[in-house]
Amino acid sequence: MKQDLSEKILLNILVIDDHESVLNGTVEVLRQHYPHAKFSTATNANNALEQVNIIQPDIVVMDLSIPENSGVKARPEIGVQLLRTLMKNYPNFNFVIQSAHVRTLVRIRPDIDSHKGGFTVADKSLATPEMLTRVDWALQGLTHTKDIKGIHTGLEVKPEWLKVLILAFEEGLQDKIIAERMCISERMVRHYWSKLQDALNIYPLEGKNIRIQTEMRAREEGLID
C-alpha cells in the first residue's frame, strides 16, 4: 500500500501501544509530522483488530509487547502474533514496528520476507527524526529490517520447534505434557529438541545442562520472551 507523501492529508494512521503515555507521545510526534492525518489508537491486540477492520489504516505503528485484552499482562509474543495475523489478512498494509523487542521478529521472518507492503523497524531508543524517517519509508512501500538481530542470518526454526520452546520455557511443561498438547509422541518431542539444538549450535558439554543452554540461546536469538 504505497503512499504519496504529498498526500499526507489523506493518511489514516493506527498507533498500537499499551502504555498511555507512550501512545499519546507517539501520536503527538506523528501529528506534528502529518498535521492533517486522522489518528486511531489501540492498547491491546483484540482492540487493534477491531480498529483495523473498521478504519483500514494506511499505516500501522505498533509496539510488540502488548496484552491480548485489557487487564492482561503484555507480552511480545502477543504483538508478534497480531502482526502475523495482520500481514496475512492485509498483505499490502504498511507497518512500522516501534518496540524495544524487535529481535522477536525473527520468529516470523518468512512472513516479513513475503509481505508486499512497507515494513520498517524503529527501536524505541531511536531519535524522533530517525523514527519519522522509518515511517516515511514504510509509507513508500520500503522494507528496512537490518536492526533486527539475526533476521538475516541462516537461523531457520520450524513452527513445531518453536512450539516446543514456548511450551517448555514459557509454560514450564515437561516433555510428556508437551507431547500430549501437540498430539505427538514423546520421541517426536525429543526429535524436535535435537533439531532445535542443532539449529542453535547447542551440543552436549560435560558439566552443562543442555536444556538450560538451549533456553539461554533461544532467548538471545529472540525466539522466546
Supply the pLDDT for residue 83.
96
Using an 8 Å Cβ cutoff, are 179 and 185 in contact?
A: yes
Cα separation of 19 and 12, whole Å? 21
- Asked if the model's pLDDT at residue 19 lies above 50, the reply is yes
Neighbours of 145 (CB within 10 A): 17
Which pLDDT score, from 0 to 100, does residue 168 have? Answer: 94
Q: Determine the structural domain holding residue 127 and report its residue range.
A: 5-144
* pLDDT of amino acid 90: 95
Shared-domain flag, residues 20 and 128: yes
Most confident of 6-10, 15-19, 161-165: 15-19
Q: Residue 118 sits in a domain of what CATH number?
A: 3.40.50.2300
Confidence of residue 212 (pLDDT cuts 50, 70, 90): very high
Number of structural domains found in the chain: 2
For 7, 53, 75, 164, 220, the CA distances from 14, given in Å and listed in that order, are 17, 11, 20, 34, 30
Q: Which residue has the higher pLDDT, 52 or 104?
A: 52
Which region holds residue 141: left if phi is over 0, alpha if psi is between -120 and 50, else beta? Answer: left
Q: What is the CATH number of the domain that holds 184?
A: 1.10.10
User: Would you give the distance in Å from CA 155 to the centre of its chain?
Assistant: 17
Indicate whether 30 and 109 sit together in one domain: yes
Same-domain pairing of 106 and 189: no
pLDDT of residue 42: 96
- For residues 23 and 122, state if they share a domain: yes
pTM: 0.70
Q: What is the pLDDT of residue 2?
A: 47
If asked whether residues 129 and 165 sit together in one domain, one would say no
In a domain, 152, yes or no: no
Residues 57 and 16 in one domain: yes
| Residues with Cβ within 8 Å of residue 107, at least 6 apart in sequence | 80, 157, 162, 222, 223
Q: Tell me how crowded residue 151 is: count the other CB atoms within 10 A of its CB.
A: 18
Residues 119-135 have pLDDT tens digits of: 999 888 889 999 999 99
The CB density around residue 77, as the number of other CB atoms within 10 Å, is: 19
Identify the pLDDT of residue 202: 82
Q: Residues in the chain, how many? A: 225
In a domain, 225, yes or no: no
On whether both 36 and 136 belong to a single domain, the answer is: yes
Same domain membership, residue 167 and residue 79: no
Supply the pLDDT for residue 164: 94
> Whole-number mean pLDDT of the chain?
88
Give the domain-ending residue among 113, 144, 175. Answer: 144
Looking at the fold, whether 14 and 84 belong to one and the same domain comes out as yes
Would you say residue 104 has pLDDT above 70?
yes
Say if residue 107 is in the same domain as residue 166: no
Residue 26: HSE in the Cβ half-sphere, 13 Å Cα cutoff: 31
Residue 153 lies in a domain: no
Please indicate, yes or no, whether residues 177 and 129 belong to a single structural domain of this protein.
Answer: no
Residue type, 3: Q
Same domain, 121 and 163: no
Q: Which amino acid is at 212?
A: I
Burial of 88 (0-12, 13-18, 19+ CB in 10 A): exposed
